[in-house]
Amino acid sequence: MTTEEMNEQAMEIIVNAGNGRTLLNKALEALYEGDEELYSSHMEDARKEMVAAHAAQTKVLQSTIEDEEVRPNILFTHAQDTLMTIMSEMNIAKHLEKIVRMIVTIQ
C-alpha cells in the first residue's frame, strides 16, 4: 500500500465516520422528538457508515500485517481516532435510547 493509498483510506474513514456522526445526531434529535421510526432509520444509516469506515481501517491494518514496509502515518492515526470517538458516541447513544424509553414509560 502506497502512502497515497493509505491517505485515501484515511479520508474514507474520516468521511464515513463523519457521516455516521451526522446521522447519529439526527437520530438523537428524532428520539428526543418521539419519532421512533426516524430514530431507527437514522441509527441504521449511521451504523452502515461506521461499518464502511471500519472496513477501510481494516484494509490498512491488513496491509501493515502483510507488508512490513507499510507504516501508518499521522493522517491514518487521526482517522482511527475519529472512528473510535464516533463509535463511542454511538455506544452512548444506544444507552441514551434506553434511558429515554425508561423515562417515557415511567411518565
Residue 49, C-alpha cell as written in the block: 457508515
CB contact burial 68-86 (16+ within 10 A = b; e otherwise): eebeeeebbeebbebbeeb
- The pLDDT of residue 102: 87
Coil/strand/helix, residue 70: coil
For residue 69, what is the DSSP state?
Answer: T
- The pLDDT of residue 20: 97
What is the domain extent for residue 44? 3-106
Helix (H) or strand (E) holding 7: helix 3-32
- The pLDDT of residue 39: 95
Domains: count for the chain: 1
Q: What is the CATH number of the domain that holds 89?
A: 1.20.58.80
pLDDT tens digits along 22-35 = 999 999 999 989 89
- The pLDDT of residue 105: 81
What average pLDDT score do residues 50-66 get? 95
Over 90: is that where the pLDDT of 55 sits?
Answer: yes
Residue 2, C-alpha cell as written in the block: 502506497
